[in-house]
Amino acid sequence: MNKGALEGTARAMVPAGKGILAADESTGTIRKRFTAVGIADTEENRRAYREMLFTTPGMEDYISGVILFDETLRQSAGEGTPFPALLAAKGILPGIKPDRGAKDMAGHPSEKVTEGLDGLRERLAEYRDLGVRFGKWRAVITIGEGLPSLTCLQANAEALARYAALCQEQGLVPIVEPEVLMDGDHSLERCAEVTELTLRIVFDRLADHRIHLEGTILKPNMVIPGKGHSHQAASAEVAEATVSTLLRCVPAAVPGIVFLSGGQTPQQATENLNAINARFPSLPWEISFSYGRALQDEALRAWLGQREKTPAAQAAFYHRARNVGAARAGRYSTDMEAA
Ligand code: 5MM
């Protein structure tokens, strides 16, 4: 393992003012996103949509890396440049989602375990040769009556750690994503409790598997009440709860924490990230973003699969990336929404 190279890549993923675009929707997920706004789910539309995002002028001012799905990694812009090369030419690091998705966990109704370890070493080696610099593996944790089970947390943490070890062996920085879902009516305190337990188990397993933490990025959920909870927390509350949870469980050796948006609106995800950075300017880690929906929703709704709407969609994407980039430095204000 080349620890110095991994550390350099990890730091390059979380530079000041920039974060990561999660554009790694698997086939089923992008179909859901397209169907919601009436776009036909064809391979060409999936390619054209990603081309619209990746050719946005100036996106590199706020985006340090892009996570891709296997299909997208092998696609090209209309003029023939493969997407990984197009991103690299803008100084953006290409990443990959090599997991095979969260599947129903046998014997554990309503819980999921992420699969994809079989053949992972070979897939990662191929991805590296195609220009990929980092990976991302997502585990999904559900809060509910008697959930999550310890077994589900342990199984997912073990898979995350084995994935991370294989990434580092192949020279790729692992983004480790244990997502505690916002679905449900649980309180912010319950989310804090489950997030803390999840992170403790994940970092235990990362240690067991000898993961080089300085070459690892954590992608957690913010500590936030369930979507159905009666009290929706203000940004200041989310920031306090999120940071106190992270401080209890995430070693200072980890160079960066990049949040997922998890179903927050684009503006909520921007405000909450801003509150964390504004209120806690001297944390041991870089605090950034790796948003999927919060970065893309407005652009997707502006695009609608119509090529002539590309400039409007790119303007929407750029606007959100700029605002989230400001939030990454704690310098966002709601006035910027109108600008
Ligand atoms: C972009 O969505 C990613 C892929 O999801 P599927 O495996 O379900 O297709 C997802 O892993 C994403 O990277 C994270 O969940 C963060 O995205 P959000 O939308 O929560 O910011």
pLDDT (tens digit per residue) in 94-151: 999 999 999 999 999 999 999 999 999 999 999 999 999 999 999 999 999 999 999 9
Decide if 160 contacts 198 (C-beta within 8 A).
no
Residue 159 CA to ligand 1 center (angstroms) comes to 18
- Transcribe 108-136 into DSSP letters: STT-EEE---TTHHHHHHHHHHTT--EEE
Decide if 288 contacts 256 (C-beta within 8 A).
yes
* Exposure string for 36-71, b = 16+ CB within 10 A, e = fewer: eeebeeeeeebbbbbbbbbbbeebeebbbbbbbbbe
Ligand 1 atom at minimum distance from 261 CA? 21
Distance of alpha carbon 320 from alpha carbon 6, whole angstroms:
29
Residue 133 CA to ligand 1 center (angstroms) comes to 18
At 159, which amino acid appears? A
pLDDT at 224 over 90: yes
Ligand 1 atom at minimum distance from 269 CA? 21
Q: Which pLDDT score, from 0 to 100, does residue 27 have?
A: 95
* Ligand 1 pocket member 50 (CB < 6 A): no
Give nearest CA residue, ligand 1 atom 16: 260
**Residue 339: pLDDT band by 50, 70, 90 thresholds?**
confident
Q: Which pLDDT score, from 0 to 100, does residue 165 have?
A: 98
Phi-psi region of 92 (alpha: psi -120 to 50; beta: other; left: phi over 0): beta
Nearest to 195 by CA among 207, 180, 181: 180
Structure tokens that stand for 114 in this block: 């992420």
Distance of alpha carbon 107 from alpha carbon 86, whole angstroms:
45
Residue 76 CA to ligand 1 center (angstroms) comes to 22
Q: Which pLDDT score, from 0 to 100, does residue 1 have?
A: 84
Count of other CB atoms within 10 angstroms of residue 119: 10
Structure tokens that stand for 281 in this block: 């300017």
Q: What is the bridge-based pairing of β-strands 173-180 and 134-141?
A: parallel
* Residues in contact with 22: Cβ distance below 8 Å, sequence separation at least 6, in sequence order: 67, 136, 260, 290, 291, 292, 295
Q: What is the pLDDT of residues 153-183, one digit of tens each?
A: 999 999 999 999 999 999 999 999 999 999 9
Give nearest CA residue, ligand 1 atom 5: 25
Give nearest CA residue, ligand 1 atom 20: 262
Q: Which pLDDT score, from 0 to 100, does residue 8 have?
A: 98
Ligand 1 atom at minimum distance from 262 CA? 20
Count of other CB atoms within 10 angstroms of residue 10: 24
Distance of alpha carbon 141 from alpha carbon 145, whole angstroms:
13
* Ligand 1 pocket member 33 (CB < 6 A): no
Q: Which pLDDT score, from 0 to 100, does residue 44 have?
A: 98
Average pLDDT over residues 282-300: 98
Helical H segments across 209-309, by residue range: 235-249, 266-279, 293-303
Strand partners, 21: 66, 291
Residue 22 CA to ligand 1 center (angstroms) comes to 7
Distance of alpha carbon 187 from alpha carbon 277, whole angstroms:
23
Give nearest CA residue, ligand 1 atom 3: 25
Q: Which of the residues are catalytic?
A: 177, 219
* Ligand 1 pocket member 101 (CB < 6 A): yes
Q: Which pLDDT score, from 0 to 100, does residue 51 have?
A: 98
Q: What is the mean pLDDT of the chain?
A: 98
* Ligand 1 pocket member 262 (CB < 6 A): yes
3-state secondary structure of 281: coil
Average pLDDT over residues 50-65: 98
